[in-house]
Amino acid sequence: MKCYLLCLISCVLSLASCKKDNFPVCANTWEADLPGQWYKGDLHVHATGGSNDTGGDSFPFDIKAKAQEKGLDFIVLTDHSNSTGSDVDTTYEDPALFNMGPEFPHWDTTAALTELGSFLFVCGNEISPRDPGSEPTGHIGCIPMNLNTFDKNYVFIDRPMGTVNGANTLNQATQAGCFKIVNHPYAINRWIAYDWTSYDYNAMEVWNGTIGFDDFDKFGYRAWICDLLQGRKVTPIGGSDTHRVFTPNPGQLLNPALGYPVTAVFAESLTWDNIVNGLVDGDVYVGEGESSLKIDDYTEGKCHANGQDLAWIRMRGTVDANLPNAKISLYFYSDCNDPRPNTNAYPELSENLIFEKELGQLSSFDESLKIEGKKGVYAAILSGDGYHYWALSRAIVIN
């Protein structure tokens, strides 16, 4: 009775609806999770017959087989705009092979390879303008929002070189009905980085494949946090950017493996509508292998806070056996020094490490921290030695 009364008072004070079998959850128990589960997918994949630089061995059937072997639930092909028709055996990006369309060459093939309820295969696009001086313009991942109404015959204008910038590309993606991802916003190859001429995107690829979560990914991660601090709603995305599906895990320097990393989306069931809703809501985490990291906010009475009356942050996940010296870290970000649209400088964050724990030999964890609920952004990172097998949580934003 005492526990019931204390929790009832706590839930009333926090204005939360926290009930189980018509009784409030006691303060020493976390409110049950919402119905649904996590589905892993790769939102940045290139296929032979749709992009240059695939080496002729990455057809959709091969990609599906490899994805299912790795336990992935969905794949989105994002072949470069206007590059279909290139020699399937080429191993480099030949500018002469661009502007050969169509934009969604594997639309019917991916639909045929989809298995309802067990595997989703979708054909999107990576809109890929170029600057003749190799200055940033931006690669925008176009993820079809609605498979029934999406115009698969839409033509993206990405040339002549130097005439199409990021803002124009995002405008085209909006007209086409895309969920818009800024892919690899910073990169060692400046010509594939973003020019910050528009912030009208839905998501940012904070982890692009290759050597793992590297310095350029960290610059993108900071830009994502800056966006959140400035009031933008942006979903963090991880995509492998694989061009050769048979590359072994976890990938090579310039040759990433499929699903390294993945974007995991929480959804009620495995339908494309549910996956898109999860992406829009930002209910995701990014990780490699078996590493995962979920973050949730709760009220004083340990009811789901949903951004209101936040008093607890809970971090749950799993640690891949290939990650040595794993640790979980929770950061609070309060301010950003944002040089954008300058593409020659990188964002800097005012960050506070508010929780850290060495995980040792643990294969899973469930940690929580009582917080004050200050205005800012909370996000967690599962890290260890090296660059691979990390995991990144979504963010909790307090306005």
Instruction: For residue 185, tell me if it sits in a domain.
Output: yes
Domain of 118, CATH number, reads 3.20.20.140
Instruction: For residue 157, tell me if it sits in a domain.
Output: yes
| Cα separations in angstroms, 40 against 70, 203, 366 | 10, 17, 20
pLDDT digits (tens, 9 = 90+) for 259-296: 999 999 999 999 999 999 999 999 999 999 999 999 99
Kindly report the backbone phi and psi dihedral angles of residue 200, in degrees, each rounded to the nearest multiple of 5, phi listed first. Answer: -90, 50
pTM: 0.92
Instruction: For residue 149, tell me if it sits in a domain.
Output: yes
Instruction: For residue 335, tell me if it sits in a domain.
Output: no
| CB half-sphere exposure, 157, CA atoms < 13 A | 10
48 Cα distance to chain centroid = 24
pLDDT at 87 over 60: no
Answer with the residue of higher pLDDT: 303 or 1.
303
Number of compact structural domains in the chain = 1
Task: Assess contact for 9 and 2: CB atoms under 8 A.
Answer: no
pLDDT at position 347, please?
A: 98
Range with the lowest mean pLDDT among 62-76, 87-101, 118-132?
87-101
Tokens of 349: 């964050």
pLDDT digits (tens, 9 = 90+) for 315-329: 999 999 999 999 999
b vs e for 61-78, b when ≥16 Cβ sit within 10 Å of the residue's Cβ?
Answer: ebbbebbeebebbbbbbb
Instruction: For residue 198, tell me if it sits in a domain.
Output: yes
Residue type, 130: R
Residue type, 348: E
Instruction: For residue 70, tell me if it sits in a domain.
Output: yes
Instruction: For residue 313, tell me if it sits in a domain.
Output: no
pLDDT digits (tens, 9 = 90+) for 195-243: 999 999 999 999 999 899 999 999 999 999 999 999 999 999 999 999 9
CA angle at residue 9 from 6 to 14, to 5 degrees? 125
Full domain range(s) for residue 95: 37-290
Task: Assess contact for 7 and 24: CB atoms under 8 A.
Answer: yes
The backbone region for 376, taken as left when phi is positive above 0, alpha when psi lies in -120 to 50, beta otherwise, is left
Hey, which residues does 127 pair with through a beta bridge?
Answer: 140
Instruction: For residue 357, tell me if it sits in a domain.
Output: no
pLDDT digits (tens, 9 = 90+) for 154-182: 999 988 889 999 999 999 999 999 999 99
CA distance 236 to 224: 7
